[in-house]
Amino acid sequence: MPKLFSAKVKNVLSSDTLILTPLNNSKQERVLSLAYLQAPRVSSNEKFAFEARELLRKLLVGKTINFWVLYKNNSDREFGDVSSPVFSSLIEYVVSKGAAKLRDNANAFDDEELLKLKDIETKARQDEVGVWNPKANSIVIIQQLTERDIDRSTSTPIDAIVEKVISGDRLILRFVLSKTRQAVVPVLIAGARSPRTGSDDQPAEPFANEAKRFVETRLLARDVKVSILGESSTGVLVGKILHPAGNISEKILESGLAEIADWQSSIIGAAGMSVLRKSEKSARQAGLNIWKGETAAKGQQSVSAD
């Protein structure tokens, strides 16, 4: 029996690939692909790719699982299996739901388990589930929201999935507009400006990585509701992002990992800005993260005055 590991599921890239983090170190990541499987790719908008990934995303993100590595390829990519209280083998679970197919080269592996997997796949094909369903609808991906979508979001927030956290104040969101229509677009988190992350020609500002990690931990691959309030001077949408624990703008300001984005005050409104300013004020008074230097400076001024 291969060595057993425990980890938390950080993200699901497709129905055959998970991003895992050790239980004692969320900064490290480990990519695990499910052995013997080939899943439809979300990035290519292949048939049933979104639905297949959703099956695992809703089931696994944020959960603790056990996994083991069965083999590696020439690029040292790890292929294995996963167990949890819900299933003993994620490979079998995925195949039974028609969320992935067995690889064409699976016969190259001398493994008794493959015979069982082939039986499971045969039943899924006969039942026409998942990728085997000839009537499965394709999803239309658009690159921007329509004016109607934006207007409706102010009264009825749009369901979305956080595909990527670019920084502490910028996300890539997948807006689920209907069963067959989605939009994948960048959105600024309303009211907050986090430190700028690094690039090839510019280092990251202090606490930029911490701000990004703060938002990733809470929002990556999670369901959120979004109201579009406006857009930046460069045309990037500005949205109020709500998740079950509340408004992420308030949370990151309270943590001292962002400051108020004053230029957005006209689209957020006085009442909304008042709430955000209270969040920022509490972090400044406590000297949290980006405000540490400010507290220290005030302390020195107080000593000097004495």
The C-alpha atoms of residue 172 and residue 259 are separated, in whole angstroms, by 21
The C-alpha atoms of residue 150 and residue 187 are separated, in whole angstroms, by 12
* Nearest of 222, 201, 205, 202 to residue 167 by alpha carbon: 205
Q: Where are the domains of the chain?
A: 5-132, 140-292
Q: How far is CA 40 from CA 76, 134, 146, 270, in A?
A: 22, 15, 28, 46
DSSP state of 286: H
Q: What is the pLDDT of residue 245?
A: 86
Q: What is the pLDDT of residue 110?
A: 58
Tens digit of pLDDT at every position of the chain (306 positions): 789 999 999 999 999 999 999 998 878 999 999 999 999 999 999 999 999 999 999 999 999 999 999 999 999 999 999 999 999 999 999 999 999 999 987 665 556 788 889 999 999 999 999 999 999 888 999 999 999 999 999 999 999 999 999 999 999 999 999 999 999 999 999 999 999 999 888 999 999 999 999 999 999 999 999 999 999 999 999 999 999 889 999 999 999 999 999 999 999 999 999 999 999 999 999 999 999 977 544 544 443 444
Q: What is the pLDDT of residue 301?
A: 45
The C-alpha atoms of residue 67 and residue 209 are separated, in whole angstroms, by 28
Q: What is the pLDDT of residue 295?
A: 56
Rg (CA), the chain: 23
The two domains 5-132 and 140-292 share their CATH topology (first three levels equal)? yes
Q: What is the pLDDT of residue 109?
A: 57
Kindly give the interhelix angle for 270-286 and 292-305, rounded to the nearest 10 degrees. 60
Return the ∠ at Cα 87 (arms to 85 and 93), rounded to 5°.
Answer: 155
CATH of 5-132, one of 2.40.50.90, 3.30.360.10, 3.40.50.800, 2.130.10.10: 2.40.50.90
Q: What is the pLDDT of residue 302?
A: 41
- Domain 140-292, CATH: 2.40.50.90
The C-alpha atoms of residue 71 and residue 236 are separated, in whole angstroms, by 43
